[in-house]
Amino acid sequence: MKEKEKPFAFRGKFFALLVLAVYIGLFFFDSHTALPALQKSARVVLKILPIFAVVIVFTALLNYFLQPKQIVKHLGEESGAKGWLVASFAGVISHGPMYAWYPMIEDMRSHGLRDGLIVVFFYTRAIKLPLLPIMIDYFGVIFTLVLSFYIIIGALLQGWIFEQLERK
């Protein structure tokens, strides 16, 4: 497995500049939209800062305790049923927006994490364990249980189909 240190470089600079350009344009032509949007974005930043901190610490702990060979063993090509189970569980308990997890996923992928398991992780994130009571409150127990059941089955099927597509 290649383990080359990549030189430091900012990523997504042009994308960030494009979004900035949209905001600048909006400030000139529709400031009634631009200002609340900026305030909402600032609120999102404040809300997910603790999640970013958790992800940074979690990634560091994974790198510290798990050697690449162990990641391959538990979540790589030979991980079998355990890999699917770990990915599903990790998706269900993970918190925060999807993009907060990209750096950790990228790091683990470079150490051998299977793509099918990433697909499962991303989809099982639809089950939000701490938010289940709120979902039950809005939609009822039966709806919540049925939807959660189908999400897990659907996530596993997607992971499997993804890997079949990759092999072609």
Phi, psi of 113 (to 5 degrees): -60, 130
Residues ≥6 apart with Cβ < 8 Å to 58: 104
- Contacting another protein within 55-74 (CB under 8 A): 55-57, 59-61, 63-64, 67, 69
Q: Does 165 bind another protein (CB under 8 A)?
A: yes
Q: Give the contact letters, 6-25, x = binds to another protein (CB under 8 A), - = no.
A: --xxxxxx-xx-xxx-xx--
What is the Cα–Cα distance from 121 to 102, expressed in whole angstroms? Answer: 11
Least CB distance to another protein at residue 17 (A): 8
Q: How far apart are CA 137 and CA 88, in angstroms?
A: 24
Contact predicate 83/114, CB 8 Å: yes
Q: Which positions from 30 through 49 interact with another protein, judged by CB under 8 A? A: 33, 36-45, 47-48
Q: Tell which positions 74-93 bind another protein, by CB under 8 A.
A: none
Residue 54 binds to another protein (criterion: CB under 8 A)? no
Nearer to another protein, 61 or 93 (CB): 61
Q: How many CA atoms are closer than 13 Å to the CA of 123, on its beta-carbon side?
A: 22
Binding residues among 124-163 for another protein as defined by CB under 8 A: 125-126, 128, 131, 134-135, 138-139, 142-143, 146-147, 150-151, 154-155, 157-158, 161-162
Residue among 122, 128, 129, 119 nearest 163 (CA): 119
CB nearer another protein, residue 48 or residue 86? 48
